[in-house]
Chains A and B, each alone.
Chain A
């Protein structure tokens, strides 16, 4: 571009207006236009080819800006704080009641000094009447041949009210599964003038109460009454010897437990001649208690297997994750059992108030890398017995960590996802170990470990899903003794169901769901109906295990908050409340399941 010509004038003008020319070159261009006025129009047109900026404002600046963690998660933090407070209150409540239990246990002691009472022998059994919290609440009392005054001597105590009433007094709440009750036969005979052994009786009885599949109880009684008269007064001496023995066989694990104790009490009464009132001078009470539990290591380990199996925590099928039942609220809104197509984090707490205050806390995270899905779940379960009426107590505290992964294989109309899950559970099983000399129930915490391996696959068809999984569970009954271990049999689980989603209006999404869950032959059918209106969620579900739930929830951006109340429809006496929070990290689904 050396010389300006008619052919290359456009290039010169381009550079002229682009500012690419030197001062001298600019003058040359201007001179050329002056000499060739026919290019004046070109010059003017080139001068207008620069696009002028017109101000444009973008309205979404705020949506692009990033808030700090605290600003961003203000609602989450507030809810977490709230949850912490609720959990804290629950723990506080538990601890308070724990102290009360300890206090009540101490009352069990029959070795307390028995106060002297006028009137009748009420005092003898007063302490026993307080043993509603003790393991020997289920005592039965029979009295034979006693004088009228003796027949009424123990009024006010639950243990003398007869068997029928005793049974009625044991409610389901008081029975802790697996449970046991003891049979306590008490026979006494009074005789005047001579001191001798009056009767020895034996009896046996069997109770069938709820989960107690096998129970053998027997009671021995030796009663010795001594009475002597003198001229001025009538004095009666009574010596009671109570022997009690019971054997419990747990049909579930074949575990045998023996319990026995004997109680000797001396009672001396004096009635002055001519006086209608009798006065009790002195009570002595001696207790000799022995508790033995004959259980072999394997059976205890089996027992652990049993309760871990009840809690098959994390199962993946149909590309979905089902976690503990305690995740009901959030699961229900995510379809059948939750989807891990979106990376998410969730935590929650379920509280079941009542005699057995149950706290169930959980925390989980799901994420996906391409076709691999991963999930981690941590749960803490604690059962806090406010009224401990059973010798046999379920584990009071257990923690589970579950890790799962699956792989999504898309075969067109079929989607197959093999998965593998490992769950490790640590439990503190508070079995009663023995009753000490003061008849105080001593619970020796035992630490157990259970490891659950399960694997299987899920299959998604156009209108239904199907899942199969096999479980094997290894239990270590006592962490200090590795020989005390047990490999449970392989169990299986099959799930088949369908869910349907339909917008009945532009805003309202309704989803009926039905599925069948078969665990080792035990069939559960579940029905649920959930709906969504904009960010509001609601739902109800019913299981043939008589478990009904009502749920509400709300979506606030990526945060989902849910509350559910569930009850057993057979008696509605156990109601659970669950609060859960879910945070979805990404709006976009990284799996092919989109809900």
Chain B
């Protein structure tokens, strides 16, 4: 990957990676740092990364950097965690489905959330998700099933509140 290709990758993929990381951890400052670090790594390794594989490389690296950061700084509140009760108390009126899904996502584990986002936002298949998250295909499927089931149960339970 040369400089021009790198710049083209930045232009086309930075928004997607940003959205993915931001959905995973709501801390904007942290996501900005992760973006800098991820693309800096891509720049350093540009000679060994093919343009076609840059997308997967970016998501893999970005996700791993995020996990490392989380591990390093357990005290950091990566995501606004509001309990279910508090969420519905705060929003007594009908809730937009988008907000509701956002809330449910926050209740998932980091891995489940990452799988759902990669699947629904990026359209990756199980194998690609497995490559990014270092999981087997069947593990991805199981985790995805559990995540969606959790969503489904919440949707079913609170369907009267969702607009």
Instruction: Provide the residues of chain B in CB contact with A52, threshold 8 Å.
Output: 98, 101, 120
CB < 8 Å: which of A17, A45, A50, A53 contacts B159?
Answer: A45
Chain A nearest CB from B15 CB (Å) reads 5
In B6-33, the 8 Å CB interface with A consists of: 6-7, 10-11, 14-15, 17-19, 22, 32
Contact B14 A64 (CB under 8 A): yes
**Does chain B have a CB within 8 A of A11?**
yes
Within 8 Å CB of B39, what residues of A?
64
Q: Chain B contacts of A231 at CB under 8 A?
A: none
B81 at the interface (CB under 8 A from A): no
Q: Are B149 and A51 in contact (CB under 8 A)?
A: no
- Chain B: residues with Cβ within 8 Å of the partner, total of 34
Q: A46 to B22: give the CA distance in the assembly, Å.
A: 25
* CB atoms of B3 and A58 under 8 A apart: no
- Tell me which residues across on chain A come within 8 A of B145, comparing CB atoms: 10-11, 14
Q: Contact check, B149 vs A10: say whether CB atoms are below 8 A apart.
A: yes
Check if B149 sits within 8 Å of A66, measured CB to CB: no
A90 to chain B, nearest CB (A): 37
Closest beta carbon of chain A to B69's beta carbon, Å:
16
In the assembled complex, the CB of A325 is this many whole angstroms from the nearest CB of chain B, namely: 37
A54 adjacent to chain B (CB < 8 Å) = yes
Q: A58-B35, A66-B3 are in contact. Are A49 and B18 (CB under 8 A)?
A: no
User: Which chain B residues lie closer than 8 Å to A48 at the CB level?
Assistant: 97, 101, 151-152, 155
Asked if A49 contacts B148 (CB within 8 A), the reply is yes
Find B15's partner among A18, A46, A58, A63 (CB 8 Å cutoff).
A58
Q: Hey, which chain B residues are within 8 Å of A570, CB to CB?
A: none
Is B105 interfacial (CB 8 A cutoff)?
yes
Q: Are A46 and B120 in contact (CB under 8 A)?
A: no
Contact B14 A46 (CB under 8 A): no
Q: Is A68 an interface residue (CB 8 A)?
A: yes
Asked if residues B120 and A50 are in contact (CB atoms below 8 Å), the reply is: yes
| Interface membership of B36, Cβ < 8 A | yes
| Inter-subunit contact A51/B121 (CB<8 Å) | yes
Chain A residue with minimal CB distance to B40?
A64
* Chain B: CB-nearest residue to A54: B98
> What interface size band does chain A fall in?
20 to 34
- Assess the B148–A14 pair: CB atoms within 8 A: yes
Q: Is B43 an interface residue (CB 8 A)?
A: yes
Task: Check A56 against B97 for contact (C-beta < 8 Å).
Answer: no
A49 x B155 contact (CB < 8 A) = yes
Q: Which residues of B contact A463 (CB under 8 A)?
A: none
The answer to whether the Cβ of A41 comes within 8 Å of any Cβ in the partner chain is yes
Is there contact, CB below 8 Å, between B101 and A65? no
Closest to B8 in A: A65
Given A61-B10, A65-B7, residue A14 in contact with residue B121 (CB < 8 A): no
B101 proximity list for chain A (CB < 8 A): 48, 51-52
- Complex interface residues of chain A between 20 and 46 (CB less than 8 A to chain B): 41-42, 44-46
Residues of A within 8 A of B43 (CB): 66
> Which residue among A41, A55, A64 has the maximum number of chain B CB atoms within 10 Å of its CB?
A64
Structural contact, B148 and A46, CB atoms closer than 8 A = yes
**Complex Cα distance A49/B155, Å?**
8
Chain A residue with Cβ nearest B117: A51
Q: Which residues of B81-112 are within 8 A (CB) of A?
A: 97-98, 101, 105
Q: Does the CB pair B3–A56 fall under 8 Å?
A: no
Docked CA distance A53–B19 (Å): 9
Q: Complex: how many Å from CA A263 to CA B17?
A: 91
- Which A48-98 residues have a C-beta within 8 angstroms of B? 48-58, 60-61, 63-66, 68
Beta-carbon nearest neighbor of A52 in chain B: B98
Q: Mark B27-58, 1 if CB is under 8 A from A, else 0.
A: 00000100110010001000000000000000
Complex contacts, B36 vs chain A, CB 8 Å? 60, 63-64
When distances are taken between beta carbons in the complex, the residues of chain B under 8 Å from A66 are: 3, 6-7, 43
Chain A residues 102-159 with CB under 8 Å of chain B are none
A70 to B45, CA, bound (A): 21
Closest A residue to B116 by beta carbon equals: A51
- Cβ contacts under 8 Å, A54 to chain B: 19, 98
Residues on A with C-beta less than 8 A from B75 are none
Within the complex, what minimum Cβ distance (angstroms) separates B127 from chain A?
Answer: 13
Distance between Cα atoms of A370 and B144 in the complex (Å): 43
For residue B117, give the distance in angstroms from its CB to the closest CB of chain A.
7
Q: Which residues of A contact B152 (CB under 8 A)?
A: 10, 13, 42, 45-46, 48-49
What's the least CB distance linking A70 to chain B, in Å?
12
Closest to B43 in A: A66
Task: Determine which of A11, A41, A57, A61 lies in contact with B156 in the assembled complex, contact meaning CB atoms within 8 Å.
Answer: A41
User: When chains A and B are docked, how far (Å) is the Cα of A66 from the Cα of B5?
Assistant: 10
Contact flag A51-B19 (CB < 8 Å), given A61-B10, A66-B7: no
Q: Is the CB of A45 within 8 A of B155?
A: yes
Across the interface, name the chain B residue whose C-beta is closest to A11: B145
Across-interface contacts of A10 in B (CB, < 8 A): 145, 149, 152
Instruction: Tell whether, in the assembled complex, residue A45 and residue B121 are in contact, meaning their CB atoms are under 8 Å apart.
Output: no
Cα(A60)–Cα(B18), bound, Å: 10
Expressed in whole angstroms, the Cα–Cα distance for A60 and B29 within the complex equals: 12
Which residues of chain A have C-beta atoms less than 8 A from B17's C-beta?
58
Closest A residue to B162 by beta carbon equals A48
Given contacts A41-B159, A42-B152, 7 further A-B pairs with CB under 8 A are: A41-B156, A45-B153, A45-B155, A56-B15, A58-B15, A61-B11, A66-B43
Residues of B within 8 A of A (CB): 3, 6-7, 10-11, 14-15, 17-19, 22, 32, 35-36, 39, 43, 97-98, 101, 105, 116-117, 120-121, 144-145, 148-149, 151-153, 155-156, 159
A-B contact list, 23 entries, CB within 8 Å: A11-B145, A14-B145, A17-B148, A18-B144, A42-B152, A42-B156, A45-B152, A46-B148, A48-B155, A51-B101, A51-B121, A53-B19, A53-B120, A57-B15, A58-B15, A58-B19, A61-B10, A61-B15, A63-B36, A64-B36, A64-B39, A66-B6, A68-B3
Closest 5 pairs between A and B when the two form their complex, measured CB to CB: A58-B18, A56-B19, A45-B156, A51-B120, A49-B148
